[in-house]
Amino acid sequence: MIISGGENVYSAEVESAVHNHPAVLECAVFGVPHPRWGEAVHAVVVTRPGATLTEAELLAHCRAQIAGYKCPRSVEIATAPLPRSAAGKIQKVPLRAALARGGTMNEKEQAPIRDTTRRAALALAGAMAAAFALPRPLRAAEWRPSRGMRIVVPAPPGGITDIGARLVAARFQSAWGQPVVVDNRAGGGGVTGTVEFLRAAPDGHTLLVGNIGPQSIAYSLFRTLPYAATAFAPVSGIIRGPNVLVVHPSVPARTVPEFVALLRERPGALNYASSGIGQSPHLSGVWFLQLAGSQATHVPFRGSAPALVELLSGNVQFMFENLITASQHVQTGRLRALAVTSAERSALLPEVPTLRETAPELAAYEVNTWVGLFGHAGAPPEAVAACNAEARAVLALPETAARLAQAGAFPHLTSVAGFDGFVAAEIAKWQQVIRREGLVLELD
């Protein structure tokens, strides 16, 4: 199947939504920015053997999964089989050439047209080989661990990164019958554990469950870093969850436009707290202020707990905080929630809008605290594919979604290529924000 187009449709959200459907075996998602109506999303979908999935069912599923903005306008079914060589392998077809042959690419604008035809769907089915060379069961079956595995976590036990690691560790151990050890190596903002992981042999038996800090923000934040993004092979997304913009009740603003107007009227007069310089809540505020064209004074603390205390007492006026922690105070009226930072609204605070829907200048805004699985750049591709398949299997379980919902997060299902693109986009996004702010830190 192919999903096409629609205003404010973003490829990462579409991929997560489609992957989360129980009938979907594989999905390749391609997003191309369009100057007039946002981003066109093309998702080529292969269903599981024996499964049926109609256009209406997939569209309804996407609408349910993606709240807060418009969903794909049309769904077309590609009935032609994937092109294969005499040896049985799917033939690789360049995506751009396939799109052009299908009549869906305007060569002048380099952007897709608004609606997708059945002919384009058939062309894109051939292009799916660019995203995965073999069907998932064949690729996954090529590799199994020959001994125990280790998952390095550059964070202390009990946090969201640790939860993600233990989630996939239990799945790997159950699927392959080998012991899987979760090794917490906290310190240095996640750098200590990341370096420890890189010391291991790149054979697929040692993995890293990293997060937004050491695996995206750190590349631009620190003057020197003992590793580069090229040292890693992104394997799979695991968890994503938003922050929320909360203000003290004394702030005379009940909507984001009112708050932005207040900031512009009083540049630098309002203070915002964070858990530390360069942390996700701090940079959430930095990017918001950059897009809004306003100023405020940053007051960093050592952790979110003391920052939250100062906000509750009114000594600072606002902050971007973890959704679960902040929602408790929002429900009691001690804080006012203005918006969540994700692309979709949260089930915990369904009446609270996303930042991106509140003002045109904030349309690009999306921040999620995320956790993902990484291997070494030199890891066997079969190992990467097998770990991705098992991670996706556990993330698709309803009980997994229910468990993560208790932490204000949700499963982040991706293909290997999808997670690779996601991480690259995160690195580029934070590089732009950090450089514009002029932030540079030294490692301790």
pLDDT score for 106: 31
pLDDT score for 358: 94
pLDDT score for 52: 73
* CATH number of the structural domain spanning residue 29: 3.30.300.30
- The identity of residue 42, as a single letter, is H
pLDDT score for 43: 61
Same domain flag for 122 and 152: no
Q: How far apart are the C-alpha atoms of 150 and 200, rounded to whole Å?
A: 10
pTM: 0.69
Same domain flag for 119 and 144: no
Domain end among 133, 155, 190: 133
Domain that holds residue 429: 134-444
Same domain flag for 116 and 144: no
Domain end among 103, 133, 163: 133
Same domain flag for 128 and 138: no
Domain end among 89, 113, 133: 133
Region at 275 (left for phi over 0; alpha for psi -120 to 50; beta for the rest):
alpha
pLDDT score for 114: 30
Same domain flag for 48 and 160: no
Instruction: Count CB neighbours of 31 within 10 A.
Output: 21
pLDDT score for 89: 47
Measured between alpha carbons, how far is residue 352 from residues 255, 289, 339 in Å?
Answer: 10, 19, 5
Contact 206, 169 (CB under 8 A): no
Instruction: Count CB neighbours of 262 within 10 A.
Output: 18
Minimal CA–CA distance to 373: which of 228, 211, 229, 230? 211
Per-residue pLDDT tens listing for the chain (444 residues): 444 444 444 445 566 667 667 677 666 655 444 444 344 455 666 666 667 777 667 777 776 665 543 344 344 334 344 444 555 544 443 333 333 333 332 323 233 323 333 333 333 334 333 333 334 443 444 789 999 999 999 998 988 899 999 999 999 999 999 999 999 998 888 999 999 999 999 999 999 999 999 999 999 999 999 999 999 999 999 999 999 999 999 999 999 999 999 999 999 999 999 989 999 999 999 999 999 999 999 999 988 889 999 999 999 999 999 888 898 899 999 999 999 999 988 888 899 999 999 999 999 999 999 999 999 999 999 999 999 999 999 999 999 999 888 888 899 999 999 999 999 999 999 999 999 999 999 887
* CATH number of the structural domain spanning residue 341: 3.40.190.150
Same domain flag for 42 and 59: yes
Q: How far apart are the C-alpha atoms of 396 and 21, rounded to whole Å?
A: 8
Same domain flag for 333 and 187: yes
| Tokens standing for residue 404 | 């993560």
Same domain flag for 161 and 289: yes
Same domain flag for 317 and 409: yes
Same domain flag for 84 and 144: no
Measured between alpha carbons, how far is residue 51 from residues 48, 54, 191, 414 in Å?
Answer: 5, 10, 44, 20
Same domain flag for 121 and 138: no
Instruction: Count CB neighbours of 222 within 10 A.
Output: 20
pLDDT score for 53: 77
Q: How far, in whole angstroms, is CA 173 from its chain's centroid?
A: 25
Same domain flag for 125 and 24: yes
pLDDT score for 119: 39
Q: How many separate domains does the chain show?
A: 2
